[in-house]
Structure 1
């Protein structure tokens, strides 16, 4: 019989390419990846032995008959057992995150062992094939070779079908289809025995698996060539599942890298990232570096003593104290390092990742170089997560409590406004204070929905006061930096006021200088629109953060609120008093009223009055009041000061 092996030779070329690229991309030493390597090895052995056997059978004078027998034995052993390798890969994929995978493989191996015994005794029995005088003869049990392959294809399909709920849709389709394709080609092989197609069937199956399930591009970051976040998380999961000794995970986060892109451009920023990735690979060898996010890199470290870890961190920080040079640009990049340990910090993938991110967040917040996620920090993280859930629930149930602190106007001697302040007096954690929950609301973005809810709530209070004949000219509401970058903010504010039937003049929006510094264009545009429509804008907490006169000069403002710290300092320090005196004069020259915040003593009150502030707010006049307390306060105030009502 003459055999056509052209398809097999082409398939060997394709398979060789896959072998090379899959080896380069085999980053994760998981059971699934190892089974894929077994599939490749078994397929390659089967195809090469098939081609060699066919050539020797067609040309018996090329080699001794015992060599032809041996290679043909290898072919008969390897070809059907390709199906076993595929089945084991299928089981490894199905049970990747579940127990039972090894049991499924062991049970699946038993038929393969029986078939292997049949192949090994074939030289004595000739039940599968024989070679007599250089002529290949089929044995009575040759059908077993095909049946064993069909068997493994069938149980692979059944396994995938039974556990389909464990698989993503795309993975399910690939694992379900590739055994059917392989089996179909083998059927054609049976119908046309002169055309050798078993290798083509195997290569088709391997190619499907490689392109959709094993392609290294799914595990590598395309810019830096490092393993990506998914690969990093898989490595952590694998380390935990294997019960390996304690290990550390580290994230190196670049500070303010956005400024590099803004200043030098995206292309140069990408070059910097590549250089940083290369530098970290050198510094941290032999441990692989992963790209954790846009400007963050991660490591998984085993077997290092605390002293060695300290030295590694020092080396990283020391290198980042030196400038990086790219395309004639030189830039010194600052980093923070977050570290979490298994199992000390957390015993799960989610816990370690959350601990890492929280450690990096705390390092940036407190301007630390590095931060280790210990038990105390984990407690803080758990409390933070609980506060997030409390805020979500309060938001859903509209249970935020508002209190109002009166603001006294010097010129008229009346209460010209109140500042609305949010409180959470009751929660599963007890009373929560704004200094704790407001930053969390801003970090999570919950502050946006909270602010809209509060605006409607204070508008409703204004309407009720008017209906009850209580005079309250205006209410202050705080807008965070997060709020100020929301699209169509001015239009939404005005629409809300119209819907609530509150005049724009009755609302004063307080904006911090931090918000102005972070988003100067959007904030100034919003403030100008609001002022044009009658909503007044106040700069809050002047004297903290980014305070400077320039920001006041270019910002459309009605009022500047002096922070409590300035008032306290001015009473105690003559130099501070002089500075406050000139600040008040400058703000007046710029056409702004000045509000003194945090006035709590008679001395402070006398000072701010003497220096000519326009408005005063603080416990000396009133604590923050509930709505009912506010009504009572205003009524009492008007009775005591009828001429100023």
Structure 2
């Protein structure tokens, strides 16, 4: 009805984090009491705004035009209460929650889109525990769509044998020859790689060059090979060799090649 009214409004979802651990540790009876306590707190805080339990550990309410100015204050009140302990049946515990906000304007007149919007924001909030809340913005959907497109493309490529593995030779400074190659779909587990961005940006900066030397020697002390990637010039090769890197790859030696090459 709120969507159909096409007036300013937002949906707010409060989703408890890891609540299954509460049930597992204290029992479902205690868990139910805590849910009731949270529900009563929300009802009291929201006053005349209806609040709904929309799944086992999730509560949802809708702020219409007259309540929108209170959004920030209400969220911080809820978040503030969750920072304190809850007591029941001689049990004391803490609850944490992810909070998502989705403006109805982004729902495009669709209930499904509105629900999806809150899910996007909720997922983003759960990935970033330091966030008090996450407000849905269209770029979240774009990022999710891109992830889905990449996933579909990968699955399609796997099904149709659409991957090609290339190998890039790695030069051994000690042996003065190519001793191994990296398959570009995976990394060696016994080696630390220095990103080419490091190799390119430290050149000519004494402080950064000094830092890289110490970094490389620290890894070598841990009995790990250090592979410097992105080496394209003699100057870079000389510098990175002086730093102590024992394995080097980059266009100075070779581009990625097909297995037969």
Q: TM-score range by the shorter chain?
A: 0.7 to 0.9
- The 5 Å alignment of 1:102-141 reads none
Matched, 1:419 2:182: yes
Which protein has the bigger helix share? 1
Contact 2:43 2:51 in 1 (8 A): yes
Contact 1:281 1:289 in 2 (8 A): no
Superimposed CA distance per residue, residues 384-423 of structure 1 (whole angstroms, 9 cap, x where no aligned partner): 433333333223222234433332222223333333335x
| Aligned match for 1:311, one of 68, 73, 92 | 73
Matched, 1:267 2:30: no
Rounded to whole Å, the distance in 2 between the matches of 1:338 and 1:572 is: 47
Rounded to whole Å, the distance in 2 between the matches of 1:568 and 1:293 is: 52
Pairwise CA distance, 1:610: 0.7
Which protein has the bigger strand share? 2
- Are the structure 2 counterparts of residues 387 and 559 from structure 1 closer, same or farther at C-alpha, using a change threshold of 3 Å? closer
- Are the structure 2 counterparts of residues 387 and 561 from structure 1 closer, same or farther at C-alpha, using a change threshold of 3 Å? closer
| Aligned match for 1:596, one of 223, 228, 232 | 228
Pairwise CA distance, 1:615: 1.0
* Aligned twin of 1:324: 85
Superimposed CA distance per residue, residues 611-645 of structure 1 (whole angstroms, 9 cap, x where no aligned partner): 221212334444444x2xx644xxxxxxxxxxxxx
Rounded to whole Å, the distance in 2 between the matches of 1:319 and 1:608 is: 54
Matched, 1:393 2:156: yes
Matched, 1:586 2:203: no
* Aligned twin of 2:239: 607
- Are the structure 2 counterparts of residues 374 and 602 from structure 1 closer, same or farther at C-alpha, using a change threshold of 3 Å? same
| Aligned match for 2:119, one of 346, 357, 382 | 357
Superimposed CA distance per residue, residues 340-375 of structure 1 (whole angstroms, 9 cap, x where no aligned partner): 233533433332222222122334556644333334
Rounded to whole Å, the distance in 1 between the matches of 2:103 and 2:204 is: 48
Pairwise CA distance, 1:609: 0.6
- In our comparison, the structure showing a higher alpha carbon Rg is 1
Matched, 1:337 2:96: no
Aligned to 1:393, the other structure's residue is in SS state helix
TM-score, length-normalised on structure 1?
Answer: 0.34
Aligned to 2:106, the other structure's residue is in SS state coil
| Aligned match for 2:11, one of 235, 249, 254 | 249
Root mean square deviation of aligned Cα: 3.8
- Are the structure 2 counterparts of residues 596 and 284 from structure 1 closer, same or farther at C-alpha, using a change threshold of 3 Å? farther
Aligned to 1:585, the other structure's residue is in SS state helix
- Are the structure 2 counterparts of residues 365 and 589 from structure 1 closer, same or farther at C-alpha, using a change threshold of 3 Å? same
Superimposed CA distance per residue, residues 97-156 of structure 1 (whole angstroms, 9 cap, x where no aligned partner): xxxxxxxxxxxxxxxxxxxxxxxxxxxxxxxxxxxxxxxxxxxxxxxxxxxxxxxxxxxx
**Equivalent pairs, count:** 253
Rounded to whole Å, the distance in 1 between the matches of 2:37 and 2:229 is: 50
- Bigger RCO of structures 1 and 2 (CA < 8 A, at least 6 apart): 2
- Are the structure 2 counterparts of residues 287 and 395 from structure 1 closer, same or farther at C-alpha, using a change threshold of 3 Å? farther
Aligned to 1:344, the other structure's residue is in SS state helix
Runs of 4+ more than 6 Å apart: none
Aligned to 2:42, the other structure's residue is in SS state helix
Superimposed CA distance per residue, residues 17-72 of structure 1 (whole angstroms, 9 cap, x where no aligned partner): xxxxxxxxxxxxxxxxxxxxxxxxxxxxxxxxxxxxxxxxxxxxxxxxxxxxxxxx
Rounded to whole Å, the distance in 2 between the matches of 1:389 and 1:348 is: 25
| Aligned match for 2:45, one of 266, 278, 283 | 283
Gaps of 5+ in 1: 1-238, 423-476, 479-507, 509-537, 539-557, 633-645
TM-score, length-normalised on structure 2?
Answer: 0.73
* Aligned twin of 2:170: 407
* Aligned twin of 1:46: none
- The 5 Å alignment of 1:550-561 reads 558-561=190-193
Rounded to whole Å, the distance in 2 between the matches of 1:273 and 1:624 is: 57
